[in-house]
Amino acid sequence: MPSLLFCGPKMAACGIVISIWGVIMLAMLGIFFSAKSAVLIEDVPFTEEDIRKDTNPPQNIYSLYNQVGINCFIAAGIYVAVGAVSLCQVRLNKRQEYMVT
């Protein structure tokens, strides 16, 4: 079986750090978007149409908020996967280190 190792120890460590940060930050962003925080209004992709043609205000904007929130949660999930891969790489690197010396 060819070696599964494709990045060095430092790169794997960076991967783990960014993954952990990504999971925490994107999860919190997802929570804040779901809570319809006003501070994040600029990050929601609404247009003038959405506001003007809203039959039941502010449901359009709210649904957009939810959509972005779900996006953030999915991204957090992807970062969990990336973190798991990085963790494997770190373990493989450690094992290789033991075998060489």
Partner 1 sequence: MCSLLRGEEMCLAQLFLQSGSAYDCINELGELGLVEFRDLNPGVNAFQRKHVNEIKKCEEMERILGYLLREVKKADISLPEGDVNPVAPLPKHVMAIMEQLQRLEVELGEVTRNKEKLQRNLLELTEYTHMLRTTRNFVQRTSEVSVSFCHVYEEFPFLEKDTLMDYSSMQRLGAKLGFISGLIQRTKIEAFERMLWRVCKGYTILSYAEVEEYLEDPDTGEPTKSVVFLISYWGDQIGQKVKKICDCYHCHLYPYPSSNEERTDVVEGLRTRIQDLHTVLHRTDDYLKQVLMKASESVYTWVIQVKKMKAIYFILNLCSFDVTNKCLIAEVWCPVNDIPTLRRALEEGSRKSGATVPSFVNRIPTNDTPPTLIRTNKFTSGFQNIVDAYGVGNYREVNPAPFTIITFPFLFAVMFGDLGHGVIMALFALWMVLYENNRKLKNTRNEIWNTFFEGRYIILMMGLFSIYTGLIYNDCFSKSLNIFGSGWSVKAMFEAKVWKDADIRGNRVLTLDPNVTGVFRGPYPLGIDPIWNLASNRLTFLNSYKMKMSVILGVIHMSFGVILSTYNYLHFRKKHSLYLVFLPELLFLLCLFGYLVFMIFYKWLVFTAKDSRLAPSILIHFINMFLMQGDGVQPLYPGQTGLQVFLVVIAVLSVPVLLLGKPVYLYWLHNGSHRLGMYRGYERVRRNSEEELYLMRAHDMEEGSSHSDLSTSGERQTEEFDFADEFLHQAIHTIEYCLGCVSNTASYLRLWALSLAHAQLSEVLWTMVMRVGLRMDTSLGVFFLVPVFGLFAVLTVSILLVMEGLSAFLHALRLHWVEFQNKFYSGTGVKFCPFSFSLHLSVT
Q: What share of the chain is helix, strand, coil (3-state, %, to 5)?
A: 80, 0, 20
Distance, CA of 68 to CA of 19 (rounded, Å): 20
Q: What is the CA radius of gyration of the chain?
A: 20
Asked if 55 interacts with partner 1 (CB under 8 A), we say no
The distance of closest approach from Cβ of residue 10 to partner 1 in the complex, given in angstroms and rounded to an integer, is 12
- 3-state SS, 59-86, equals HHHHHHHHHHHHHHHHHHHHHHHHHHHH
Interacting residue with partner 1 among 5, 18, 27, 87 (CB under 8 A):
18
Scan residues 23-52 and list those touching partner 1 (CB under 8 A).
25-26, 29, 37-45
The distance of closest approach from Cβ of residue 1 to partner 1 in the complex, given in angstroms and rounded to an integer, is 28
Binding site for partner 1 (CB under 8 A): 18, 21-22, 25-26, 29, 37-45, 64, 67-68, 71-72, 74-75, 78-79, 82, 101
